[in-house]
Amino acid sequence: MFHWFEQRPFFFAVLVFIFISFAGIIEIIPDFAKQARPTVGTKPYSILELTGRHVYIKDSCNACHSQMIRPFKSETDRYGMYSLSGEYAYDRPFLWGSKRTGPDLMRVGNYRTTDWHENHMMDPASVVPGSIMPAYPHHFTNLADVETAYGEALAVKNVFNTPYDVDLNGDGKFDVPLGTFEEASALALQEAKAIAADMKNQAVKDAVANGKIPEIVALIAYMNSLK
Amino acid sequence: MQNGAQIEYDYSIAKAFTFATILFGIIGMLVGVILAFQMAFPELNNLAGEYGTFSRLRPLHTNGVAFGFTLSGVFATWYYIGQRVLKVSLKESPFLMAIAKLHFVLYFITILLAVVTLLMGITTSKEYAELEWPIDILITVWWVLWGIGIFGLIGIRRERTLYISIWYFIASFLAVAMLHLFNSMAIPTGLLTGYGDWYHSVSMYAGSNDALVEWWYGHNAVGFVFTVPIIAMIYYFLPKESGQNVYSYKLSILAFWGTLFVYLWAGGHHLIYATVPDWMQTMGSVMSVILILPSWGSAINMLLTMKGEWQQLQSNTLIKFMILASTFYMLSTIEGPIQSIKSVNAIAHFTDWIPGHVHDGTLGWVVFMIMAALFHMAPRMYKRELYSKSLMDTQFWLQTTAIVLYFTSMWIAGITQGMMWRAYDEYGSLVYSFIDTVTVLQPYYTIRAVGGLMYLIGFFMFAYNMYKTATCGRVLDKEPTNATPVAA
């Protein structure tokens, strides 16, 4: 039977395609809708947090840090409550990582502060002696790209109905406001000022005071949001 | 052709891709060695500002070796093997020749764009699919061109039955096309909303779904770039170089169709204990173990091809390369399933055992097989004798030692780290803080870096040997003799 196929390239290719697509059809398609439900309390990222998430991605933090706490005592003791699928409902892309050269960061916002991150990103070994993490001084000088984050938030709001500008908890206010680009930028700057107030680096403080947002501020906003 | 009339094969495209293989191999592996030294000596992160950090170089390494080096090798061998087993020359069809040239040019541009954008930090973050959508579209274009090349050449073939290598090339083409298209689905946010970078995009899938699609892709991109086309190579070059027939047709069939069916299920083993449904994790685990059968089927078929001719291992370095490659394939395809068993995965996942596993597969199997293939092709493409057999032999032993250093150090590092993460003292507290589990690995990272450096030196020997063969090897008046398959 196989010999028949080996002389007929078209049917051979069709048979190959059936063999390789089988797993995807059974595994991936049926579960899609079910997985996308957020857990109660899970909210989309604010613009500043999303901007910080882009910094995280730009410098491949996920190459060395996971965001996936497995259901083992040794992991929940170290990192906190194990991860739930719904907590990732608004993560596009997912950032679970595949290697822990450094520790998991799924709930790093629960146990690290703005101050800690500021020192750590400038010189990791000054906070964690023996650390092999690179220093990221360029995060203190490069400006964050709020506009791209706004474009992304607007796109996911329109295409996937991600709940920006929605009152989720029924208190009469939008949980995560987005609005126009001007409104969103103003809000991001307001958040940035709150973070810069806890920082020591004068150049960063000055930049924020002048309405600019260095990458480090956005990154710390994102880190602090991971809970 | 049976009646003696030789077909004049055209190797211009194969030669171009051979050049690309060596070039991207040097770049990709050099970056890999830098990364390895950075893990042992973190000060090395600061040599080139933000562009020299582990952050930016890591995706450059994986993309460089997977899509620069390995894919070039796959294309180089396709443009060599395809003509010879289908018994038709590229020259006979100006159309296919033009497609092939365009394929090379667009491919080369893509890899250069990948280097630049990854260094700039433009990445989707999805492993082995880091490139943004404009480059993804470019990839799709030349992948389709390759497909036209494959089926076009098949369409004008003189040999009616498709040789095994062709099966594997077809499978590789179809599977990667499917995986690439589905995994790269994204919304270009800049274009859609008018805000932000035009090349930025956001994944079509979110959270656990995204992870599922990504690892369905990630695992099988490995399968259909690092495994399937490499098997295509060994099915052609080992019988050709040794003059032996492939051991068993039945085993070939079992291994081929088995690999296709089972491989695609195994992606779930990257997500064990993660937040994807339990049955998928279990399927990933079970199917990974079943995958031993077709994998070892191919490997055993190759080893038994040498039955009765094992003395060739002593006399022919190329046979040595290929036999060691099949052996590493066996090692890697038993190691992977072991790591997929849930209780083992609990320790192995997230540790250095995983890069260890990847590298005994890639360094031992993929790179060895590609180098052996190009060594076999060189005298036939350039019509010159191989420049130095003793250099080849030295390279073989240097690189074999390098691989052993690499994977043994990473096995120890991975298991050490996995065990330390879960160590409790008698009062029920964690024994080690995270940094303890990092500093303890320093000696192993150093050994790994040295192994990597030795391997890179071996690769330079290969590059030098190829260069010398192409330019100053002794001119051959006729092609070196060889036998099966499909004597051409």
Chain-chain contact of B195 with A159 (C-beta, under 8 angstroms): no
Spatial separation of the C-alpha atoms in residues B274 and B259, rounded to whole Å: 26
Alpha carbon A83 to its chain's center: 14
Reported as type and span, the H/E element at residue B201 is: strand B201-203
Task: Identify the residue among B164, B205, B251, B285 best suited for mutation to test binding to A, counting A beta carbons within 10 A and taking the highest.
Answer: B205
Global pTM reads 0.95
Write down the pLDDT at residue A33.
59
* Tokens 């010999």, residue located: A3
Mean of pLDDT values over B245-273: 93
What are the boundaries of each domain within chain A? 2-30, 47-225
Chain-chain contact of A148 with B192 (C-beta, under 8 angstroms): no
Per-residue pLDDT band at B483 (split at 50, 70, 90): very low
Instruction: Tell me the per-residue pLDDT of A93-146, one tens digit each, with 9 for 90 and over.
Output: 999 999 999 999 999 999 999 999 999 999 999 999 999 999 999 999 999 999
Per-residue pLDDT band at B117 (split at 50, 70, 90): very high
The sign of the dihedral angle between the CA atoms of A152, A153, A159, A162 is positive
From chain B residues 160-189, the ones with a CB under 8 A of any chain A CB are: 160-162, 167, 170-171, 174-175, 178, 182, 187, 189
Read off the DSSP letter of residue A135.
P
From chain A residues 32-51, the ones with a CB under 8 A of any chain B CB are: 32, 35-36
Write down the pLDDT at residue B487.
39
Residue A87 CA neighbour count, 13 Å, CB half: 16
Chain-chain contact of B195 with A150 (C-beta, under 8 angstroms): yes
How many A×B Cβ pairs under 8 Å?
Answer: 254
Read off the DSSP letter of residue A143.
B
Mean of pLDDT values over B462-483: 85
Cβ(A51)–Cβ(A149) under 8 Å?
A: yes
The answer to whether A11 faces chain B, any CB pair under 8 Å, is no
Write down the pLDDT at residue B486.
40
The beta-carbon neighbor of A93 closest among B125, B154, B194 is B125
Q: Quick check: B128 pLDDT over 90?
A: yes
What are the boundaries of each domain within chain B? 12-472
Of B212, B82, B98, the residue nearest B151 (C-alpha) = B82
Q: What is the CA radius of gyration of chain B?
A: 23
Mean of pLDDT values over B167-181: 95
The beta-carbon neighbor of A130 closest among B39, B277, B439 is B439
Average pLDDT of chain B, as a whole number: 93
Sequence-distant (≥ 6) Cβ neighbours of residue A24 within 8 angstroms? B178, B182, B216, B264
Q: Quick check: A70 pLDDT over 50?
A: yes
Range B12-472 classified under CATH 1.20.210.10? yes
Write down the pLDDT at residue B485.
44
The beta-carbon neighbor of B161 closest among A7, A58, A147 is A7
Chain-chain contact of A135 with B46 (C-beta, under 8 angstroms): yes
The beta-carbon neighbor of A20 closest among B46, B160, B264 is B264
Spatial separation of the C-alpha atoms in residues B156 and B149, rounded to whole Å: 11
Sequence-distant (≥ 6) Cβ neighbours of residue A34 within 8 angstroms? none
Nearest CA in chain B to A67: B274
The beta-carbon neighbor of A98 closest among B155, B192, B354 is B354
Per-residue pLDDT band at A40 (split at 50, 70, 90): confident
Q: Is the ipTM of this complex over 0.85?
A: yes
The beta-carbon neighbor of B195 closest among A62, A132, A147 is A147
Q: Quick check: B34 pLDDT over 60?
A: yes
Q: Quick check: A34 pLDDT over 70?
A: no
Chain-chain contact of A94 with B207 (C-beta, under 8 angstroms): yes
Per-residue pLDDT band at B396 (split at 50, 70, 90): very high
> Angle at Cα B327 formed by Cα B323 and Cα B333, nearest 5°?
145
The sign of the dihedral angle between the CA atoms of A127, A132, A138, A142 is negative
Tokens of B89: 């020359």
Q: Quick check: B55 pLDDT over 60?
A: yes
Q: Quick check: B125 pLDDT over 90?
A: yes
Tokens of A51: 């901007």
Q: Quick check: B385 pLDDT over 50?
A: yes
Sequence-distant (≥ 6) Cβ neighbours of residue A148 within 8 angstroms? A51, A54, B189, B190, B195, B196, B197, B200
Tokens of A209: 């005071």
Nearest CA in chain B to A19: B261
Tokens of B376: 């076999």
Instruction: Tell me the per-residue pLDDT of A167-187, one tens digit each, with 9 for 90 and over.
Output: 888 888 899 999 999 999 999
Least reliable range by pLDDT among A25-34, A57-66, B239-248: A25-34
Range A47-225 classified under CATH 3.30.200.20? no
Q: Label residues A189-215 b or e (16+ Cβ within 10 Å = b).
A: bebbeebbeebebeebbebbeeeebbb
The answer to whether B125 faces chain A, any CB pair under 8 Å, is yes
